[in-house]
Amino acid sequence: MVSVFTHTGACPGARPAGKDPGKGPGKGAGLRPAAAVAAVLLVLAGTAWPDKPPPMIENSLGMSFMLIPAGDFLMGSDETPAALAKTYPQYETRRLQDLSDEGPVHRVRITRPFYLGRHEVTVGQFRRFLEASGYVPESIADGTGGYGYNPAYDPATSPRGDAFEGRDPRYSWHNPGFSQGDDHPVLNVTWNDAVALADWLSRREGRRYRLPTEAEWEYACRAHAGSGQRTRYQGGDDPASLLTTANTFDATAAANWPRWAHFALPGHDGFAFTAPVGSFAPNGFGLYDMHGNAWEWVADWYGEDTYANSPEKDPQGPAEGNRRVRRGGSWHTWSLYARCAYRNWNSPQTRYTLVGMRLALDADPGSPP
């Protein structure tokens, strides 16, 4: 399976993601505050939960986590290329055929409740992590930098046809080439950076932070609450539903990538680049931006045929590999690639201007760090 970040270009071994950004107004909606969720906020201090895990917690970096219940769901998609072509007529047939790793659809049981970040990790939270820990992100430590948006950059001049300029030391977690507030999702972070953050939080708080498994991520995206959510998106099967539920490749972003305009959603979600996390409605589990804004690293190695032999109970993915899975699409991602079922991957060292993270946290009382 080919992995490219855009139809034209590939970041070191990636699959189709989205197009380029565009300059756009940006609706500027802010981070939704503690909403009307009657949840308990608990600042973690290395202590066990009182009696049972609270429905929502906030940690020492100000990250909110939602308690995701145990349950089962049908993972993956078995939509045929012919069926997809009816909804996605502008896509070349090969793109629709290239989704076979989403099948077979199989039942997965998540046997233990777990916490999942209510939002993607933000620029501000990542900065506080760096300041408190002394950790140096991979893009800076290895001196090669990340990727970034430069309106003057022409993908045709890149040996790999990358959609963005890079790798270049000018770009890193604090500079993807466009303006980001502290409440935007951090980008240009590697899988290794994400694990470093999780490990540091685990040591600091005495709880076990980690990346979600691929199965946990899709379960959370589908927000299964006993009803068997099988739609492509949080808002249904229609890609246009993304316009009101996610920040993806819309007409605003397409203004900066006119060659891909026919892949853009027919309307405006308000953001040409990243949006403040939580700018759209949450899903049934109270999670924001599971579709779009930033791709999210998950724990698993990628396996193209993983689903054919996946254990039903808490699948962890292949035992070994050289590519890690990322999920959900980004601010630059076409609708086909922002579906709950879509799988993409990169090497653990990959940093890109579309890829960020969301952390998970064990909910078992006394779980070892």
From 300, 272, 271, 294, select the one nearest 356 (Cα to Cα).
Answer: 294
Kindly state the smallest distance separating residue 148's Cβ from Ca ion, in Å: 18
* Amino acid making up residue 150: N
Kindly state the smallest distance separating residue 264's Cβ from Ca ion, in Å: 9
As a whole number of angstroms, the distance between CA 242 and CA 31 comes to 18
Interaction pattern, residues 234-273, with Ca ion; x per rule: CB under 5 A? -------------x--x--x---------------x-x--
Q: How many CA atoms lie within 13 A of 60 on its CB side?
A: 19
Q: Identify the sign of the CA torsion 271, 236, 214, 303.
A: negative
For 290, other C-beta atoms within 10 Å of its C-beta total 29
What is residue 352's three-state secondary structure? coil
Kindly state the smallest distance separating residue 65's Cβ from Ca ion, in Å: 15
**Number of residues located near Ca ion, criterion CB under 5 A:** 9
Nearer to Ca ion, 223 or 253 (CB): 253
From 225, 276, 277, select the one nearest 119 (Cα to Cα).
Answer: 277
CB 173 within 8 A of CB 188: yes
Strand pairing class (56-58; 64-68): antiparallel
Please report, as residue ranges, which positions from 275 to 304 form the binding site for Ca ion (by CB under 5 A): 289, 293-294
Nearer to Ca ion, 102 or 269 (CB): 269
| DSSP-assigned letters across all residues of 41-75 | --B--S---SSS--SEEE-TTS-EEEEEPPEEEEE
Nearer to Ca ion, 44 or 257 (CB): 257
Kindly state the smallest distance separating residue 273's Cβ from Ca ion, in Å: 8
Nearer to Ca ion, 101 or 289 (CB): 289
Kindly state the smallest distance separating residue 340's Cβ from Ca ion, in Å: 12
Nearer to Ca ion, 207 or 327 (CB): 327
Residue that has been written with the tokens 């539920």 in this structure:
245
Interaction pattern, residues 313-352, with Ca ion; x per rule: CB under 5 A? ---------------x------------------------
Kindly state the smallest distance separating residue 27's Cβ from Ca ion, in Å: 9
CB 188 within 8 A of CB 353: yes
Kindly state the smallest distance separating residue 56's Cβ from Ca ion, in Å: 19
Strand pairing class (114-117; 324-327): unpaired
Nearer to Ca ion, 238 or 312 (CB): 238
* Amino acid making up residue 284: G
What is residue 114's three-state secondary structure? strand
Nearer to Ca ion, 184 or 208 (CB): 184
Kindly state the smallest distance separating residue 342's Cβ from Ca ion, in Å: 12
Nearer to Ca ion, 102 or 289 (CB): 289
Binding site for Ca ion (CB under 5 A): 247, 250, 253, 269, 271, 289, 293-294, 328
